[in-house]
């Protein structure tokens, strides 16, 4: 779906592109610049995730429809939340309650406390033998994402239909691309960050936030939305982790959500 002569967005009905840990998960809109996909290990734009108290649901199956409407392209992708995230020690699922609690506390420290992040890096956990795994599960429901694509602009709508909200903590809408291509962050408060200074998971207080390549040739921007929390994040660890994004967190009672993404690219 072209944005300009050298910039476009791509959407797959299967789980492409295949990259490391999220090979079998569904992706959203992918930025393509001069014929190259810039998503890395990112999930793409507009990807739903549901976090319950005891597990987090992702999607590995979907249905896609594409059609033209009022001189723009409209894409509807139904994400079936049919896959859960597990932490495994070597090849064994962590079933022990104490170990699950330790893993959860490590994740909380990583998200909330900057000074712990250099210690609790994913590479460190990997060396301990702890691995991410995504396994099929009884579906928690579905989220239908509608993308209305216009020149330099995407309007995104989420229709959230979960079979149960018992112990549901939040629904996240991911907007991620590759960290090797997109390396610079700036926002309406004048903050400018590069590479690791962007942080792994930090709250965005500004009215808008933008992520670009280092030169600013290509990038994307989102805005703060009422009753939603915006976070920025980036992980780049060799060949294993390669994502950068601006993700929304929604409360458990939210059933609909919409926002805009500006996507831009320069010829030179």
**Do 99 and 177 share a domain, yes or no?**
no
Determine the Cα–Cα distance for residues 9 and 3; give it in Å rounded to an integer: 7
**Do 222 and 89 share a domain, yes or no?**
no
Torsion angle of C-alpha atoms 77, 83, 87, 89, degrees rounded to 10? -130
2 located within any domain: no
149 located within any domain: yes
**Do 154 and 107 share a domain, yes or no?**
no
**Do 177 and 245 share a domain, yes or no?**
yes
Q: What is the DSSP letter of 122?
A: H
**Do 239 and 260 share a domain, yes or no?**
yes
**Do 74 and 104 share a domain, yes or no?**
no
Residue 115 has pLDDT above 50, yes or no: no
Instruction: Please count the structural domains in the chain.
Output: 2
Q: What is the pLDDT of residue 238?
A: 66
**What pTM value is reported for the model?**
0.85
- How does pLDDT run across 25-80, given as a tens digit for each residue? 999 999 999 999 999 989 999 999 999 988 899 999 999 999 998 888 999 999 99
**Do 25 and 122 share a domain, yes or no?**
no
Q: What is the CA radius of gyration of the chain?
A: 18
For residue 204, give the CATH number of its domain.
2.70.98
Structural domain harbouring 121: 85-135
- How does pLDDT run across 161-203, given as a tens digit for each residue? 999 889 999 999 999 999 999 999 999 999 999 998 998 889 9
């Amino acid at each position: 779906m072209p944005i300009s002569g050298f910039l476009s967005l791509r959407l797959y009905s299967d789980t492409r592109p295949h990259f490391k840990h999220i090979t079998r998960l569904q992706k959203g809109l992918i930025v393509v610049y001069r014929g190259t996909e810039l998503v890395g290990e990112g999930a793409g734009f507009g990807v739903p995730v549901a976090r319950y108290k005891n597990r987090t649901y992702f999607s590995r199956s979907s249905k896609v429809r594409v059609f033209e409407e009022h001189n723009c392209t409209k894409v509807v992708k139904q994400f079936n939340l049919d896959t859960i995230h597990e932490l495994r020690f070597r090849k064994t699922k962590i079933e022990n309650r104490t170990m699950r609690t330790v893993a959860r506390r490590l994740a909380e420290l990583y998200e909330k406390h900057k000074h712990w992040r250099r210690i609790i890096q994913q590479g460190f956990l990997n060396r301990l033998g702890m691995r991410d795994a995504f396994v099929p599960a009884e579906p928690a429901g579905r989220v239908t994402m509608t993308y209305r694509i216009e020149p330099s602009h995407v309007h995104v709508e989420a229709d959230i239909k979960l079979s149960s909200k018992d112990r549901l903590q939040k629904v996240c809408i991911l907007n991620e691309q590759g960290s090797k291509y997109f390396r610079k962050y700036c926002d309406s408060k004048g903050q400018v960050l590069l590479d690791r200074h962007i942080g792994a998971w930090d709250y965005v207080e500004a009215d808008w936030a933008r992520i670009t390549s280092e030169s600013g040739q290509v990038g994307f921007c989102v805005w703060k939305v009422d009753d939603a929390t915006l976070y920025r994040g980036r992980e780049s660890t060799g060949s294993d982790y390669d994502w950068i994004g601006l993700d929304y967190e929604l409360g458990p009672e939210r059933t609909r959500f919409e926002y805009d993404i500006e996507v831009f690219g320069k010829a030179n």
